[in-house]
């Protein structure tokens, strides 16, 4: 008799353990980067970043690298922290962050094999091209960050973050592009 009761209790306990382990649990967010580092980058770049967001985690090397270039002055044909132009900035960022070699000039960068991307479909790291020289020809490039913001080397302010909804960039917008893999 005790053997039967003992077996029933054992089976009952086994079922309870098995069934309780089948319950669904809300996944816990894992801190991917130090919250202070994320908050600092978010503030510097003017974009909302989260230390548990997978997209932000994947793009953190881009955000960290471009934040180090903010305020560097514009210098035509420059390629250093002493000064650089918009295409030189894109060139260096792609080299450092993505380990990809891209053309050096804005015109050549705009002719790379890439997928055209609408403003609404832009993702971090995509190119944004503008016709800023008064003609309809692409003459300026930036790198999209997030939330409508992009980073670029401005002739008057050096490396800055701007918003695609600013009137000037709405008026001069030409295209967005994502490199083909």
User: Which residue blocks in 46-166 are alpha helix, DSSP H?
Assistant: 54-67, 86-98, 106-110
Cα dihedral sign for 132, 136, 142, 148?
positive
SS3 content of the chain, % helix, strand, coil (to 5): 40, 20, 40
Beta bridge partners of 159: 153
Q: Is position 8 annotated as part of the catalytic site?
A: no
Instruction: Pick the closest to residue 128 from 73, 80, 78, 86 (CA basis).
Output: 86
152 in catalytic set: yes
Of residues 8, 115, 152, 163, which has the active-site annotation? 152
- Of the residues 8, 22, 115, 140, only one is catalytic, namely 140
CB distance 124 to 54 below 8 Å: no
- Looking at the DSSP bridge assignments, the partners of residue 140 are 130
Residues 121 and 177: their CA atoms lie apart, in Å, by: 10
**Residue 163: active-site member:** no
Could you tell me where the DSSP H helices lie in 22-162?
Answer: 35-45, 54-67, 86-98, 106-110
What is the number of other CB atoms lying within 10 angstroms of the CB of residue 78? 16
Per the residue annotation, which of 22, 86, 115, 163 is the catalytic one? Answer: 86
Active site residues: 86, 140, 152
């Amino acid at each position: 008799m005790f053997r039967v009761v003992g077996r029933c209790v054992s089976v009952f306990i086994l079922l309870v353990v098995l069934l309780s382990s089948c319950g669904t649990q809300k996944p816990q967010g894992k801190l991917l980067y130090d919250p202070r580092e994320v908050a600092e980058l978010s503030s510097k770049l003017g974009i909302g970043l989260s230390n548990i967001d997978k997209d932000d985690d994947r793009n953190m090397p881009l955000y960290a690298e471009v934040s180090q270039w903010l305020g560097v002055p514009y210098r035509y044909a420059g390629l250093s922290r002493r000064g650089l132009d918009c295409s030189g900035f894109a060139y260096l960022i792609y080299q450092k962050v993505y380990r990809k070699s891209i053309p050096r000039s804005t015109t050549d960068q705009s002719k790379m094999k890439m997928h055209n991307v609408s403003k609404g479909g832009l993702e971090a790291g995509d190119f944004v091209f503008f016709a800023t020289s008064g003609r309809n020809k692409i003459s300026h490039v930036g790198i999209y960050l997030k939330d409508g913001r992009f980073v670029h080397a401005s002739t008057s302010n050096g490396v800055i973050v701007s918003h695609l909804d600013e009137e000037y960039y709405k008026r001069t917008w030409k295209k967005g592009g994502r490199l083909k893999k």
